[in-house]
Every structure is written in C-alpha cells, then in structure tokens.
Chain A
C-alpha cells in the first residue's frame, strides 16, 4: 500500500502525544507551583498539555478527506538502510572507543571504515584519507589548539 502524508502525520502525532503526556505527568512530580510563584513544573505542565492538544489535532486532521501527497517509500534505494544503520553504528562506536583507544587511533579506524564500507573506495584511497585525516586532526586539535583529547592506551 502506498503511504501518504497522512500516515506519516499519524505516526508523528502519536509520538508527540506520548511526549506531551509524559511531560504533563512528570511536571506533577516536580512542583508546579501557583500562578504567583510558578515552580519548576509550571512550564512543563502547560507546555506538555499544549503539545498533547496539538498532537490530537494533528491526529484528527490526518483522517481528513483531502488529497494527500503520496510519499515515496521510506528508504529511497533498496540498500539505503544498510548505509544509514552502519553510519549510525560507527558514530556510536566512535563515542565508545574514544577513551580506551585514544583520539588518533579511533579517528583512523572511523575514517577508514566509513570510506571503505559506505561508498566503497579503493584500499589505497581509504588508507590515504584515514591516515592523513587522523594525523592532521591530531596535529590540529591536540598540538595546535591544545584541546585535551584522550591519548588512549597506545599513548599517542
């Protein structure tokens, strides 16, 4: 079945409704306060209510009988999802490996992985980019700008 904008709106509306209700309920556990002494829960409560109301409006609107634009499939190419997933995973991996492996090495791995596996380049190009990239980055950030980036167990 072809998806139209209305389907997307519906899903989004439900997401925001959940968020809105969450904040509204959460606000009650931190003081909402009163109108002349608004507490930390004041804004979350009212904003949460507003968001919930708007989500319901969006949800109802999505059942309307207008000419909805047809949306293309979620992933434009068949193998898009692989690239998207791999890239996100590599970002997460970078974050986790940065401290143990150190800045220069982690950067090297990161660049090499992405260049090679997302839009595959030759090994020569990959290594060139990865090495140059990590060396320049290290020089720039650690030596020149003196940011305190982790050195990792390899010590560089």
Chain B
C-alpha cells in the first residue's frame, strides 16, 4: 500500500546511528529544558543548532523533534512532582497529577503521562498521514469570530469545572482578562497600565504568573504547616502504573489524543485548550466526577495525551498552508527554507521524502522520550524524598532563577513575588487559580479576535452567531453557564460545591 511504502521511506531516512544519536540528545536536552521553567525549547534549540551544521538538515529536524517533545514532557514532570507547571499546557496536569504525587503515586502519574504522550504521538502521526489536506481546509474555516468563540468556550469550560463557586471562578477569569490587557495594545499601540516600564510593554508574562501562583504560593502555603512535615507521607509504591491504572486510563488517552489532534490543527494555543477540554470531557464522562482534583489518573492521562497530540497536530498548518503555528515550528520552516523548499499546499506532493522523514522523526522523538524517561522516573521520584526544609529553598531558587533568566528582568521577578502573595491569599480565601492563569494566557488573543471580528462586521455583535461554527461554541458556553440553575444539574453541582467549601483544599 502506498502508505506503507511511505512509512518505509521515512524509516529508512531515520534509522541511521547518527540520526538516532541526535534524536536522543534532543530528547534529553528537551526534557532538561522543560523541567527548568523559562528556558523554553527555543533556547535549547538555539544552543544545539550550531552543531547541526556538520550534519544533514534531516538530522537537525530529527533533533528538533526530540527537543520539542522532550520539553513538553519535562513540563509535565514538574507539574506532577512539585505542582509547578512547566508551561501553560501543563497547568491542568497539576490538578490531579500533584495530588497523586502527594499520595505516593508520583511514579504511576509520571508513567501514564509518558505513555499517554506516546500513544497520543502515535495517533497524531496516523492522523497526519491520513487526513492532512482535508484538515487544513477545516483550519481555514476558523476566522476571528470562530477563534474568539472557541476561546470563550474554553474559559467557560474551565469555569464550569471549577470546584467551588462558579461565581468566584468567573471573577478570577475576568480578573485574568483584565490583567491580560496590561501592556501595549496589539492593534493601536497604546500603552495600557505599563507605568512607563518597558518590561511591561508586552504584558504580564505567564511564566512569572505561573511560577508565582503555583510555585511560590504553594511553597509558602506548605511552610505554614507543621515543621518537618514530610511531603510524601506514605511509602512510595510501584513506580509504574498498575493494571487498574491502565484500565482507567485507556479510554481517556484515546479520547484525549483524538481531541488534541483536531484542536492542534488550529494555529494558536492548541495544547492549552486541548488539555483542559480533555479534562472537562473526562470529568463529564467519569463515573466519579467528584473525585477529580483529588488524584485520579484519568485527570492526568487525558490531558497529557491531548496536549501531546495537539503538538503533533500543530505541524499540519505548516505542511499544508506553509504557516507555522508557533515559534518552534517556525524553526522547522527555516530548515525547509535552507533547502529552498517553500512550504505550502504543494509540499506533500512535491517533497514526499522530507514530509515523511519529518513525520517519522517526530514519532521517533516520541519513542525516545518513553525509552529515556521511564527509567528516570525512579530518579525524579527520589527528588521528592529530600526533606522539605531543604527542598523548599531549592524550589524557590528554581523559580527565581527561572523567571529571571527569561528576560533578565527584576521587574518580572517582582511580579512573580507579587503573584506569589496573591496566590497565597487566594488559597486562603478559596479562590481558584487556574481560571486566572488561563484567562491571562488566552485573554490577549481573545481580545484581538473580538476586536477584529467587530471591525469586520462593522460593529455588529451578531457576527458571532451568524457564523455557524462560532455559534456552536457560543451556544455550548451559554449552556454551561446556565446549567447550575437548571434543577437536576444544579443539585449535583451544589453538592460538589458544599463538599468542597466545607473542607480545606
């Protein structure tokens, strides 16, 4: 079959010792970088790229794929172990992943995250092979109104999943939106609330925010407690997921992968949206939704698969439209340019070996990730055994340096500390942070698309309903917001809310 020969072609390109070695290096560097916040994949790539002059561009691309996946996985590692998301997409993983770690189940959590990513990678490669061109058409159907509605729905979904009061979660989300307006306005260039500080011109970075809200605040909340409290109270059990875990996680991983792949096709913050959409879906479909947030493995399996699949799906706009979805893929674009290849609709047919070679290399990156990280799980988990009085200064250091090394800006470190204070207080007052963070990340894009849509429609807000895709999203959002007031759904929510506000989170 034609497809099979393509795979062979790709594999041939791939399985040379040189390529395998570079892939391995890429994954290693990527994971290391993913674990250290603030040093994103771009930094790792920048450091390693000069070495690739001496080797073929295909090798370079293979290493790139390794770094990319490695970084995504590294971010999940810190989410699970110390409740600090490595990037926005990992915020969701902290919800259940960290809880699992607290119960001594960090090993299975990490393991499922790795396997989930692997399965997602497989599914997205298959997806790429089968449906790339039609999907591109699908992506084109998304214009400013659709993006706005999609993001709005994403935030509403998140709020709906909130533990406690929807009102409070909504407030945090709107607050996040408002914070997102700080900076230079992308359309008119006006400075908004930047107080003349150049560092604030491109807005409040989400890394200082995440490090502050999740990292610093968590640590401070912990040190309030008893002295010498061991972080892990129970003996660490198996390092790998057991059979029950596999059974529970199987469908979430499949669903997450498919979902993530389709959402990943849309250029933009796909991994974030797919991760929390997956979480929401798993919670809805679960037999025991109230357990989400206390450490259920489905809450890790689904989102981790989704965000990895979205990463794969993100290659599609590049191959079919010639438009990179994010800065890492733009580097791939550059690699193509080196060969005088113009990415665009004709790419797959004109340069099949490059296309398939890249696909297989992405897959290889996935495999490498699994092979590399499983043995390391034991090592990572040992980190948690360090006594907390010594561990927490290290965690704080890691936050400080991570943020500082982003832009060498003391302003951003100060912002992180500010967010730390706020996060600490928010916990006391029973407000959730996830809606704030996600609104902060997505807000500016939402605002741009909102304004663009209004300019296109010349002031008519009905444009969001006139476009069918957009209308669907808006409808779902409204339905979710109103549902607490519908009696039988409302009662279920109320029980959840009372249960949660009665205890301490």
- A residues adjacent to B (C-beta < 8 A): 5, 8-9, 11-12, 16, 19-20, 23, 26, 30-31, 34-40, 42-44, 47-48, 50-51, 54-55, 57-58, 61, 69, 72, 74-77, 80, 83-84, 87-88, 91-92, 94-96, 98-99, 103, 107, 110-111, 114-115, 118-119, 121, 125, 129, 133, 137, 141, 145-149
Beta-carbon contact of A88 and B459 below 8 Å: no
17 contacts between A and B (CB under 8 A): A5-B501, A16-B175, A30-B192, A35-B454, A36-B455, A43-B181, A50-B174, A51-B171, A57-B167, A76-B224, A87-B223, A88-B420, A91-B396, A91-B417, A99-B410, A118-B392, A119-B228
0/1 string, B386-409, CB within 8 A of A gives 1:
001110111011001100110010
Task: Give every chain A residue within 8 A of B181 (Cβ-Cβ).
Answer: 23, 40, 43-44, 47
**Which residues on B sit within 8 Å (CB–CB) of A47?**
174, 177-178, 181
B: interface residue count bin: 35 or more
- From B198-206, B425-433, B466-474, give the one contacting chain A: B425-433
Q: Do the beta carbons of A44 and B178 come within 8 Å of each other? A: yes
A115 to B396, CA, bound (A): 12
Given A30-B192, A91-B396, are A51 and B220 neighbors across the interface (CB < 8 Å)? Answer: no
The DSSP consensus for interface residues of chain A is helix
Q: How far is the CA of A114 from the CA of B396 in the complex (A)?
A: 10
Mark out the residues of chain B between 195 and 231 whose CB falls within 8 Å of any chain A CB in the assembled complex: 216, 219-220, 223-228
B458 partner residues in chain A, CB cutoff 8 A: 36
| Apart from the given pairs A8-B430, A31-B188, A47-B177, 11 other A-B contacts in the complex at a CB distance below 8 Å | A36-B455, A36-B460, A40-B187, A47-B181, A54-B170, A58-B167, A84-B223, A92-B414, A95-B417, A98-B410, A103-B401
* Residues of A contacting B414 in the complex (Cβ-Cβ under 8 angstroms): 92, 95
- Taking Cβ atoms with an 8 Å cutoff, the residues of B that contact A are 39, 43, 47, 167-168, 170-171, 174-175, 177-178, 181, 185, 187-188, 190, 192-193, 216, 219-220, 223-228, 388-390, 392-394, 396-397, 400-401, 404-405, 408, 410, 413-414, 417, 420-421, 424, 428-431, 447, 450-451, 454-455, 457-461, 501-502, 504
- Interchain nearest-CB distance for A41 vs B (Å): 8
In chain B, what residue has the closest Cβ to A74?
Answer: B428
CA distance A111 to B396 in the complex (A): 9
Which 4 residue pairs spanning A and B have beta carbons closest together?
A36-B459, A119-B389, A114-B393, A35-B459
Q: Cβ of B43: which chain A residues have Cβ within 8 Å of it?
A: 145
Please tell me if the beta carbons of B393 and A111 are within 8 angstroms of each other in the complex.
yes
Which residue from B168, B216, B390 sits with its C-beta under 8 Å from A125? B390
Do B223 and A26 touch across chains, with their CB atoms under 8 A apart? no
Query: B459 and A118: CB pair below 8 A?
Result: no
Q: Are B193 and A39 closer than 8 Å at their CB atoms? A: no
Please measure, in the bound complex, the distance between the C-alpha atom of A94 and the C-alpha atom of B424, giving whole angstroms.
19
